Amino acid sequence: MADSTASARPTPPAARPVHVIGGGPGGLAVAYALRARGIRAVVLEKSDRVGASWRGHYDRLHLHTTRRLSALPGLPIPRRFGRWVSRDDVVRYLEKYAEHHELEIVTGVEVTRVDRAPDGTGWLLHATGGRELTGAAVVVATGHNHTPRVPDWPGRTAYTGEFLHASGYRNAQPYAGRDVLVVGAGNTGAEIAVDLVEGGAARVRLAVRTAPHIVRRSTAGWAAQFSAVLVRRLPVPLVDRLARPMARLSVPDLSAHGLPRPETGLYSRVTEGAVPVQDVGLVDAVRRGRVEIVAAVDGFEDGKVALADGTRIEPDAVIAATGYARALEGLVGHLDLLDDRGRPVVRGARTPAGAPDLYFTGFTNPISGMLRELAMDAEKIAKAIAGNADGQVSRLPV
């Protein structure tokens, strides 16, 4: 890996590198795909190592996508990592990926703003330490899960009980023998609730605003991801219809336990940004009463948590599995490239109108698997950049 001085090497205006912002899976995959085409790509990573977000996830996390369909281009994930790769092995893989492909990575550099270059060609990146870097093209790969998001609940700032976002949760050890409320029934909330139960928490409640679709991660060896890949391009209403009978066959009705089947179709929910919950123990824990489903959180009052059904509870700790913000506003918000939810208006190999050679990857949560989509996007983005180079992109020595 290069040190922070590498990015300061002068390059002629007609031969600028491609700057990739973010050293996670998406950024590394794009850097490799560009390098494979002989184009110099410099990865700018704000932390001191690649895969920073993966290092911060909770201990028990495993991919919900299969090893074979989660590999980045140019390097398979080792078979010894198993079918469902653990968090630590994902990190090992990303480290090996960067080393194996000899990627040019500059750590400790955070890009804070992207502007058009003064000469009208390429882009000017403003980074920490007063750096100003120019690139022929820029790929923003800062990640879908960038900044922890906590709803603006009434009374939240005055609440004196133990409260943390799921990004700060590591394992159940600190909660053994305690009463814990997990807020949010996505994959993270569901898995943390199960982890708490298995780790000895005295009571675990899961606050649910909208009942999620739940699917088995694997049925008779057939991974849910395989089905997701097959239906990826089918019409949304058709997939919704196909999913209903499959859900009834594979997942029991949990309505009596406070978790009814969703009224909105599975794929319709995905298009709204809510992927199904892959069952890694939640169904059994709910059926056995080890995870109690309660109403959504409405606010905090007098040291208690106020729920939407009017009840007040007083858990020992609250863990908010309430998602993340993309946090792209400071970086590119002034370029009018974001929709009303803060997401890039176009992604992958397409560039926004008026912003040529500015690409985004990793800002969706596809039903067929994030890593799989990142791998495919990387190849498409590299191909697009190579096709639009026009002598502006610096080439690697032959």
Tell me: pLDDT of 88 over 60: yes
pLDDT band, residue 14 (cuts 50/70/90): low
pLDDT, residue 5, reads: 43
pLDDT, residue 385, reads: 94
Tell me: pLDDT of 8 over 50: no
pLDDT, residue 353, reads: 86
Q: How far apart are CA 252 and CA 84, in angstroms?
A: 24
Looking at the chain, list the stretches that DSSP marks H as alpha helix, in order from N- to C-terminal side.
25-36, 52-55, 87-100, 187-198, 224-231, 236-250, 266-271, 282-287, 329-332, 370-387
Sequence-separated (6 or more) residues with CB below 8 Å from residue 207 = 181, 182, 183, 184, 185, 294, 295, 296, 297, 307
> Do 149-320 and 6-146+326-387 have the same topology in CATH?
yes
Domain 6-146+326-387 belongs in CATH node 3.50.50.60: yes
Q: What is the pLDDT of residues 125-174, one digit of tens each?
A: 999 989 999 999 999 999 888 889 999 999 999 999 999 999 999 999 99
Q: What does the block give as tokens for 253? A: 């009705």
Sequence-separated (6 or more) residues with CB below 8 Å from residue 152 = none
Tell me: pLDDT of 392 over 80: no
pLDDT, residue 398, reads: 58
CB burial class (10 A; 0-12, 13-18, 19+) of residue 249? exposed
Contact (CB, 8 A) for 360 and 347: yes
| Phi, psi values for residue 301, rounded to 5° | -140, 125
Please count the residues of the chain: 398
pLDDT, residue 389, reads: 66
pLDDT band, residue 271 (cuts 50/70/90): confident
Task: Name the 3-class secondary structure at 196.
Answer: helix
Tell me: pLDDT of 267 over 70: yes
Mean pLDDT in the chain? 92
Q: C-alpha distances in angstroms, 6 versus 121, 134, 393?
A: 22, 13, 17
Q: How far apart are CA 75 and CA 31, in angstroms?
A: 13
Q: How far apart are CA 101 and CA 29, in angstroms?
A: 10
Average pLDDT over residues 104-113: 96
- Cα 364 to chain centroid, rounded: 8
Contact (CB, 8 A) for 313 and 207: no
Q: What does the block give as tokens for 14? A: 């007609």
Average pLDDT over residues 306-316: 97
Please name the fold of domain 149-320.
Answer: FAD/NAD(P)-binding domain (3.50.50)
Average pLDDT over residues 222-242: 93
Rg (alpha carbons) of the chain, rounded to whole number? 22
Average pLDDT over residues 249-254: 93
Q: Which of 181, 160, 174 is nearest to 318 (CA)?
A: 181
* Most confident option among 170-184, 207-221, 271-285, 383-397: 170-184
Break the chain into its structural domains and give their ranges.
6-146+326-387, 149-320
pLDDT, residue 119, reads: 84
- Cα 270 to chain centroid, rounded: 14
Tell me: pLDDT of 12 over 70: no
Higher pLDDT, 73 or 246: 73
Sequence-separated (6 or more) residues with CB below 8 Å from residue 273 = 341, 365
Tell me: pLDDT of 7 over 50: no
Average pLDDT over residues 312-334: 95
